[in-house]
Amino acid sequence: MNDDTHSERYAELAAVGPYGVRPGHALITLVEPHPGHEYAYNRWYEDDHYYAGAMAMPWMYAGRRWVATRELRLLRYPEDSAVARPVTTGCYLSTYWITEGRHDEHMKWTVAINRRLDRDGRVCHDRTHVLTAFHDHETTVYRDGTAGPRDVHALDHPYRGLVLEVIDAEPAGRRAGMLDWLRTRHLPGRLEGSPAAMVTVFRPTPLPGDRMGYVRQVEGVDTRLTLLWFLERDPRECWAEHFTGLDEQVAASGLGRVELVAPFLPTVPGTDTYVTELRD
């Protein structure tokens, strides 16, 4: 294929298929840099991978990185988390929105480009993937109704913090009931008067069989829901009042179990802010 024909293929692909702006899918990845490699990992991700391994890809149109200092990780619960073992594992969270209906096309590109990056020595292997999954969007619940930013803006709006929550519907088959309870009862009540402007709710999807070997297959694809709470205040200022007891409330519903509640701050792009606060 000559260069002109290759370029024309881009025009053909852009002319067909969905091209809305709704965040129909998401990549949510929680990563632990290996001890002693925190600075190198952060610089690699900030300077190269965030762009070459994510934002430069087709249909991935918004992204944001988040960091959990040691102080923030000590706030996490439950202690016996099925997601993070121990529960303090996972210093960095990256979140990305993908155009609705473009999951399959994006997956083909991301597998191919990550294989190329690895072959070219542009992948940091001094890290562990704690939770890495592509997700389908289920719902977004807003604190203020139609006022304020929508979920499409969430990764660009200057939110001051984020809380990652992972719920397992128990037993299997109750996820639809859990989703309905979250959307109509639990989240509206928790959002009222809180520093969280919105909560986006996603369900994880399996990773492809030809994924990179350092990323493990997703657990709980039939039972889990992943929630992102977008905060207008520093989570350290409002944790005790607004974010304790989520596990008890979910358990009381009889529909499932909270596997992780974890607060984060936004990173400062292009800097090593907070790196010195990751360890003891």
> 50-100, pLDDT tens digit by residue?
999 999 999 999 999 999 999 999 999 999 999 999 999 999 999 999 999
Q: Does residue 73 contact residue 44 with C-beta atoms inside 8 Å?
A: no
Task: Give the pLDDT score at 217.
Answer: 72
Q: Does residue 201 contact residue 140 with C-beta atoms inside 8 Å?
A: yes
Mean pLDDT of the chain: 94
- Is residue 218 over pLDDT 90? no
Phi, psi of 197 (to 5 degrees): -85, -30
Q: Does residue 255 contact residue 180 with C-beta atoms inside 8 Å?
A: no
Task: Give the pLDDT score at 220.
Answer: 84
- Give the residue from 259, 242, 278 showing the smallest Cα distance to 77: 259
Q: Does residue 97 contact residue 61 with C-beta atoms inside 8 Å?
A: yes
Task: Give the pLDDT score at 208.
Answer: 72
Neighbours of 233 (CB within 10 A): 15
Rounded average pLDDT over 34-50: 98
pLDDT in tens, 124-168: 999 999 999 999 999 999 999 999 899 999 999 999 999 999 999
- Is residue 1 over pLDDT 70? no
Distance of CA 81 to the CA centre of its chain: 17
The pair of three-digit structure tokens given for residue 16, joined into one six-digit string: 């067909």
Of the ranges 29-38, 197-206, 210-219, 248-257, which one carries the lowest mean pLDDT score? Answer: 210-219
DSSP symbols for 67-117: E--HHHHTT-B-TT-SSSSSTT---EEEEEEEETT-HHHHHHHHHHHHHHH
Phi, psi of 17 (to 5 degrees): 85, 175
The pair of three-digit structure tokens given for residue 144, joined into one six-digit string: 């203020």
Distance of CA 258 to the CA centre of its chain: 16
- Give the residue from 179, 189, 191 showing the smallest Cα distance to 138: 179
- Is residue 212 over pLDDT 60? no
